[in-house]
Structure 1
Amino acid sequence: MIEKNAAHPTQQSRTFLTDLVFPPDTNHHNTIFGGKVMAYVDKIACISAMRHCRKPVVTASSDSFDFLAPIKTGDAINLEAYVTCAHRTSMEVYVKVERENLLTGEKQLTARAFLTMLAIDENGKPTIVPQVIPETEEEKQQYVQAQARYIDRKKKRN
């Protein structure tokens, strides 16, 4: 068993989710509702953060959510999430969303987001989380950039 508050590699939080986009998931343009994508993003960020800290979490903020391209009826929606950085009680989670044409195999980045998740105890109070150990070059780059985003978030709150 992994000690709850020891530093954990990013890989421990890496989470994947794939689903098929059906007509009820889409608007009159035959593209998935933005709110549905946001719900997927929140859900996978929650799973990723819980895998990192092994505690209940809540969404504290979403400071960046960029829609880059549509996902159409019949496409697969592929999401990948991982904890980029952890602070005392919060974690930043990066989520990448792709569309996949299942007939051709073509994939395209369609959205990305950074969410802050807060770990809570049984009384709903913030609780300490493990630090992150970035291993790949991408993870190390995200870790450094997460520090700057954290400072920006703190400035906006004050």
Structure 2
Amino acid sequence: MEKKPCSSSLAVKTSHVLPPDTNYHGTLFGGILMAHIDDVAAIAAVRHARRAVVTASTDSVDFLEPVKEGNSICIEAFVTWTRNTSMEVFVKAVAEDLLTGDRRVCATAFLTFVAVDEDLRPVPIPEVFPETESEKLLHEGAPLRAERRRERRNNSKEFAARFGTKYPWNQRNM
């Protein structure tokens, strides 16, 4: 498979923040922003793999600034790093006051996707390569983030095994 540049997976989506998308404070619900992030990141992953993908993890979504009703929210995502069947996607969300033109980064996130076949089995994907200094910075830091993901996933599996499916979770059940 031929390697692809990070830029070939770039996906961008801009939406208007309307009253149904906001909370009591008149700011965008975090869950709505997270849905936008997953949507655009998945598009970037499919563009890179040219295969169906599934979300394997979201490292974090760091909410840096509130997004107010009436603002626009622009989500940008691209693949920063690949392994055999998985890829890391960096996402940046920019809020814009449409009346003043003031723009600020309101959130960043890293997500991991796995390319799959029709039976939802992982399939190989092309490698990605960075071109810009920013892409190189993200690419170089990816192995450490991947190791942290593995550790977090192992911890999650331990919690799942400990807590199981029973409720309530009390000392007698643990």
Q: TM-score range by the shorter chain?
A: over 0.9
Offset of residue 155 of structure 1 = 3.0
Does residue 106 of structure 1 match 2:102? yes
In the comparison of the two structures, how many residue pairs are matched?
Answer: 154
- Point out which structure has higher relative CO (alpha carbons under 8 A, 6+ apart): 1
Gaps of 5+ in 1: none
Q: Among 69, 78, 87, which residue is 1:91 paired with?
A: 87
Gaps of 5+ in 2: 155-174
* Aligned equivalent of 1:24: 20
* Aligned equivalent of 2:170: none
* Aligned equivalent of 2:128: 132
Bigger radius of gyration among the two: 2
* Aligned equivalent of 2:112: 116
Superposition misfits of 4+ residues, deviation over 4 angstroms: none
Q: Percent identity?
A: 49
CA distance in 1, matches of 2:148, 2:25: 36
* Aligned equivalent of 1:53: 49
CA distance in 1, matches of 2:118, 2:2: 20
Offset of residue 87 of structure 1 = 0.4
Offset of residue 147 of structure 1 = 1.4
Offset of residue 156 of structure 1 = 3.2
Offset of residue 74 of structure 1 = 0.4
